[in-house]
Chain A
Amino acid sequence: MQYMMFVATDPDAEPYDPAQDNIQEWATLVQARGAHLHGDRLRPVEDATLVRMRDGELIVSDGPFAETREWIAGYDVLECENLDEAIELASKHPMARFGRLELRPVWPFDPAE
């Protein structure tokens, strides 16, 4: 199963502590397992661009965005045996402590549907 793991900030989480950030260790772990397909950080919402087509007209604007205190800071695509393995990997990610992670199963497109 493939999971998209959204890495999000969370105001209720532990404050970020660079000394406790073990992202390299995590990357090594998921690579060694063959579970990591790809993933990266994302630039902050200030750098986001919103695109809409309304009544045939293209509307481009800068970041939206509802004033949320949680925003997506990165993503990883994981290939796992099942949800328990995905949970295990997510739990070891530093942002499980400094933010929060959302696991969404990838829904492969099936033209027959």
Chain B
Amino acid sequence: MTGTVAATPAEVRAAVAAAHRDEWARVFGALVRFTGDWSLAEDCTQEAFARALERWGAEGVPRSPGGWLTVTARRRAIDVVRRSGVEADKLRLMVADEQLAAPAADAALGDVDADWRDDVLRLIFTCAHPALPMEGRVALTLRTVAGLTTAEIARLFLVSEATMSQRLLRAKRKIAEAGIPYRVPPPALIADRTSGVLAVVYLLFTEGYAPDDGRVVRDELAEEAIRLARLVADLTRDPESRGLLALLLLQHARRGARLDDAGDVVPLDEQRRELWDPVAIAAGLRLVAEAPLPRGPYAVQAAIAAEHDRAPSASDTDWPRIVALYDDLPQHPVIRLNRAVAVAMAIGPDAGLAALDDLGEPAALAAGHLLPAARGELLRRAGRPDEAVPFLERARHLAPSEAEKRLFTRRIAECRDAV
């Protein structure tokens, strides 16, 4: 089961790090299925990676690192259960009993390799179960599917490790105590639950774009979301999952141009498009082109992002098509707001202002900066700078980050100069 060539310490570290990134979910997923106990599964998975660091040097890096780690973690679980006789009947170790009878853990490697997709899918769906609080779903997905440590997740969400550890513990406890099944949902539930999974991934991504300080770690969060989106898209082969992946790739492709050297937010129409990531854009455009019709909401949003990303400039963007795509989306207030801005680009600022009038002041937007920001900006473009100022001031007051407040300060100054 192992390679024959010994590996250098550097090679071992690299191989273990790669396995941690790529194989954590399948090893952990297999162990949850095997033991029925999330905490035991976590301990044994961790232990298997520690063993790999010790042993891959002398034994060589195995041909199937995931298989090696799974078998090692399973042996560890069997040991733990053997030693704590009292707990054995409390753990749901039917499978373990079979394995104890036959010393066939190594022979099981083939079957371990074959099942991993289902194990990872079970994990993904269980972590996103709607009975868990949203923050628990997100944290648990990062811990168990993405394989991040508790400390890493705590850092990404800017909370203490103790807080994050509690959050994870509560989520794991609820899975066990409320009887949340560890499985891929049956056909009647799959559509609903898949959209729950996508919501977790999307939230992770938007959290990455929460525009306040700590920019560097936030980028990591967005990248973790893309990695998860790719995994979910590969495993479910669901068109909306691919739509979400495309959307994230196409939005994240613009990250290099979102802030200027002073750290100020650069609006889309002023971004230096040569700073956009052409590889991510190409991958996103390919997914959008392949998307089957009719498209779901993520795929439509991806198609909108694709129009922006493929356009040479804001003025050379196919705005009428963007407006038409917005019409295909559920008419949530934020969508209607974005549509009004697209109408302004397609037809003119006055048409955009009329669309904003139609929108009114829905509760979902009442407390945020988006509505006054849009109205102020459209008034400015309509050549009514004096009317724009109070809206831009209100937008600045409500904007969630300093970088955005500075953008509105700049706009207000431009309006005052124009009056």
Contact = CB atoms under 8 A, between A and B. Distances in A.
A81 B178 CA distance: 11
A72 interface: no
A5 interface: no
B180 interface: yes
B179 interface: yes
Contacts of B179: 1, 3, 80, 82-83, 86, 105
Contacts of A105: 177-179
Interface in B143-200: 177-181, 185, 189
Contacts of A1: 179
B181 A84 contact: yes
Chain A interface size, as a band, is: 10 to 19
A27 to B, nearest CB: 22
B276 to A, nearest CB: 43
Interface residues of B, number: 9
B334 interface: no
Nearest to B130: A87
B178 A83 contact: yes
B131 interface: yes
A106 to B, nearest CB: 10
A3 B177 CA distance: 11
Contacts of B129: 83
A87 B181 CA distance: 12
A1 B177 CA distance: 9
Most chain A beta carbons < 10 A, residue from B177, B179, B181, B189: B179
B389 to A, nearest CB: 41
Interface string A17-30: 00000000000000
A86 B180 CA distance: 10
A82 B177 contact: no
Nearest to A2: B179
Contacts of A84: 180-181, 185, 189
Contacts of A81: 181
A42 to B, nearest CB: 24
Contacts of A103: 178
Contacts of B177: 105, 107
Interface in B383-405: none
Most chain A beta carbons < 10 A, residue from B131, B178, B189: B178
Given A82-B181, A87-B131, 9 more contacts: A1-B179, A80-B179, A81-B181, A83-B129, A83-B131, A84-B185, A105-B177, A105-B178, A107-B177
A-B pairs with lowest CB-CB distance, top 8: A82-B181, A1-B179, A83-B179, A82-B179, A83-B180, A105-B178, A83-B178, A84-B181
Interface of A: 1, 3, 80-84, 86-87, 103, 105, 107
15 contacts: A1-B179, A81-B181, A82-B179, A82-B180, A82-B181, A83-B129, A83-B131, A83-B179, A83-B180, A83-B181, A84-B180, A84-B185, A84-B189, A86-B179, A87-B131
